[in-house]
Chain A
Amino acid sequence: MRQTLIFIFFFFFTGVMVHASSNEKDNEFNLVEFALHHVGDSYSYDFFQKKDGSSVGFELPRILLNKEKKKIEFFISTNQALENGYLEESEFNPEAMHWALLVPEAKMELISLKLKLENEKDSIRKEIIKAEFEEKLTNYKPLDFSITKNVVLLFFAAILLLTVFISIARKYRKNPNVAPKGLQSALEPIIVFIRDDIGKTYIPHHYERYMPLLLNFFFFIWFLNMMGLIPFTGNVTGNIAVTASLAVITLLVTNFNGKKQYWQHIFWFPGIPVFIKPIMLVVELVSVFTKPFALTIRLFANITAGHLVVISFISLIFIFGKVGELPAMGWATSVFSVAFALFIDCIELLIALLQAYIFTTLSALFIGQAVENEH
């Protein structure tokens, strides 16, 4: 009974995703565009698309720093920003991202430049005007601090983590020597695992100092990875800005806590002939930055790849359904597609945990190498 319920549950949600993807505007199914839209960030929180192409969801606020006026402007939605004179960049630049905005002051100048560009016959002068046009386009972009979909989900994860862990911490403080109960007993083994198998193993002497960081890394990444698998949420750890920020934290902590031994190994590697030392200097300096870079790319690539594989399997239904205008083909494919998507989803559950573990472990390893004085 329980298994049947779980199956129906999964089938229902996969079905919802199908509903969202089957209704493209011009009836042409573009897999790449659809998949990239699905894994990307956006300025609105869409739940699904209706048959006529309109989305069900809500728009998110725009916070823009206008460099011309030198002030921060707040709009409740993108449409309100447009009503207040902001321009859509795609009007002037066909390659612009959807809903990229330009400040209102730019309007007259850009329109006149565009006219000039269209009327110019001479190809060399056309290039010059084009360069000026592009420079103006970048200058008139406001600095964008908008609350995007990913930011909403980051806040949500933060609130979730705070409520869960503050309540647990309070229980430990109140009665420290009582057996854990409920949520506490579910999370205690994981916390102990991170302390013993990650903290103590890789940072033997100073692990207490770095435990808050490691626990934060693990649970934050794990929660976000798992959230990415739930329908109606987004792909947060599959956003390279998020993973890069996390890796920069590791970079800073590693280098600010580096002891003498760490810097000695970078600048004057001990125990090797002198003429190799300058070469090692270059190698070690580069590796300071490649380590967090690898962390960034690893998390980003693993999570995004998982999402793309699932979305591709689901999209197969529509690709086959469009072949020869035979809906029956789509129905036949859907059985295998959903089965495979479910299978990949289960693997993704494992990967969500594994990537959080790997990120935490490698951070601990890097920090441990930097703060240990003697091997």
Chain B
Amino acid sequence: MILLDIGLGLGAGIAAGLAVLGAGIGIGQIGGNASQAIARQPEASGKINGAMIITAVMIEGVALFGVVLGLIIIGKA
């Protein structure tokens, strides 16, 4: 049973961690590319900002699913 608990704990941590890792890469790319886009075309910054936030939020949603999954796993331990 201790092994199972350890496994569940590790699993929850890895699930949340990997989800956050992926989201970090994704949001980093969005932020970097949005800054580049604004630097190239400053007059379009409003539209770019809106699109950036929407996309970042979508990725954040996926990351939150990972966190919720981690919480569910922990709840079983």
Contacts and interface: CB of A to CB of B under 8 A. Distances in A.
A298 B61 contact: yes
Given A298-B60, A298-B61, A358 B68 contact: no
B57 A298 contact: yes
Interface residues of B, number: 11
A301 B67 CA distance: 9
B27 interface: no
Interface of B: 46, 50, 53-54, 57, 60-61, 64-65, 67-68
Nearest to A362: B57
A242 to B, nearest CB: 17
Interface in A271-318: 294, 297-298, 301
Interface residues of A, number: 12
A191 interface: no
Given A294-B64, A297-B68, A201 B50 contact: yes
A294 B65 contact: yes
Contacts of A362: 54, 57
Contact of A294 (B46, B50, B54, B61): B61
State the majority secondary structure of interface residues on B: helix
A297 B72 CA distance: 13
Contacts of B54: 361-362, 365
A197 B46 CA distance: 9
Contacts of B50: 197, 201, 361
Contacts, number: 27
Interface of A: 197, 201, 294, 297-298, 301, 354, 357-358, 361-362, 365
Nearest to A296: B64
B69 to A, nearest CB: 11
Contact of B57 (A197, A201, A301, A358): A358
Contact of B53 (A201, A298, A358): A358
Nearest to B68: A297
Contacts of A361: 50, 53-54, 57
A145 B40 CA distance: 56
Contacts of B64: 294, 297-298, 301
A301 B64 CA distance: 8
A362 B54 CA distance: 8
Given A197-B46, A357-B53, 12 more contacts: A201-B50, A294-B61, A297-B61, A297-B65, A297-B68, A354-B53, A361-B50, A361-B54, A361-B57, A362-B54, A362-B57, A365-B54
